[in-house]
Structure 1
């Protein structure tokens, strides 16, 4: 299959690229700094930003045929890697929301049907089934900005008229890919402190391109 990856230079994005290539798929990664990834068989790199619709279109045009799916692993830019860190002052407004909107607009022009988006546990209707500590963190700390952005992406994507999968990943951790537990969209029974490795998320997202099990759903996933 042919994939376009947005956010492919990030910690989870790089693993999505690796997972897709390891399974024999062809990947184009649209990234701002080409030096952050190494081009190799199965991977082509296009410089640009998903905040510009024309850059996404340029990435599509580098492929002999349009991608069969777009995988999105974008996040808010923070002043440090801590999830509690403040949003970087130079971070564009609506970077996640507008990037996804641009991707959907271009994929409709080219006939690409499916978009797989890395979301988070706590977005949309999964918020109410989180434990009270996480609900408090998402209400009163800097984590609220990411949760709000993911929820808006969720709402806007559902109205876009495309095949989507919103992978609501629980607390992200490093480590090898492991068996994945899939919970309903509302996250009921996910537990008090569910975690999932980034490698597991990458595997789930690539498989969501290959299979139809979660089309137009937003499953909560953990290990």
Structure 2
């Protein structure tokens, strides 16, 4: 299969890219900096790098046709912060609606070339999964800098489940707290996250494996699974 990845240089996106390539898929990655150290050494078989910005619709359109239209789009974007802490303030160069605006562009570009599947790295606490958060986590998400990320993810949800997502097979993957480590078995707790433990965790590599799996198969189409190890 052939995937277009948005956010391929991020901590999750680079792992998704590596997983897709290891599975034998062809990948196009829209990246601001093709020389980024988080990308595989070039030239890389089955990998096409397209310089550009997901906030620029013409760049999205170019990526969607280089070298050909993909079977699916995988989105692993996350707002930049002033440090690696998830509670750090947003970076001044990052718009608050980064993910929403990028996904809006992706949907518009996809429909123009007949690409009808998108898999998005969301987060636990959005949509029907909000009730699966414990009170301490709910307070953290609503009353710290995490609220900006949560709001952007909510806007993405409204976009893909609304009119602009009509006719598209979307998957909103909702992991909880992210950890480092190898890929481990993943449990799907449904769209509402019912039955998940109080402090759920999942390794980034586990998320990467699940995201590629969701792009390959129809099993999670038009679903928003909460996943954890």
Give the equivalent residue in structure 2 for 1:197.
Answer: 203
Q: Where does residue 218 of structure 1 map in the other structure?
A: 224
Equivalent residues of 2:96, 2:148 under 8 A apart: no
Query: TM-score, with normalisation over the residues of structure 1?
Result: 0.97
Aligned mate of 1:173, from 164, 170, 179 = 179
Residue in structure 2 matched with residue 6 of structure 1 by the alignment? 6
The one of 163, 188, 191 equivalent to 2:194 is: 188
Which deviations, in whole Å up to 9, do the C-alpha atoms of 1:38-61 show, x marking residues without a partner? 330111111001000100111122
Partner of 1:56: 60
1:34 and 2:34 equivalent? yes
Q: Deviations over 1:133-179 (max 9, x none)?
A: 10110111111111111111011111111110000011111110000
Q: Secondary structure of the residue that 1:109 maps to in structure 2?
A: helix
Q: 2: CA distance between counterparts of 1:143 and 1:127?
A: 14
Residue matched to 2:99? 96
Distance 1:134 1:205 in 2: 24
Q: What is the total number of aligned residue pairs between the two structures? A: 222
TM-score (norm 2): 0.95
**Aligned mates of 1:61, 1:71 — CA distance in 2:** 15
Within 5 Å, give how 1:133-152 maps onto structure 2.
133-152=136-155
Does the CA-based 8 Å contact 2:180-2:203 persist in structure 1? yes
- SS of residue paired to 1:34: coil
Equivalence map 1:43-122=2 (5 Å): 43-63=47-67, 65-122=68-125
Kept in 1, the 8 Å contact 2:179–2:203? The answer is yes
1:21 aligns with 2:21: yes
Structure 2 CA distance for aligned equivalents of residues 16 and 201 of structure 1: 8
Q: CA RMSD in A?
A: 0.9
Equivalent residue of 1:74, what SS?
A: coil
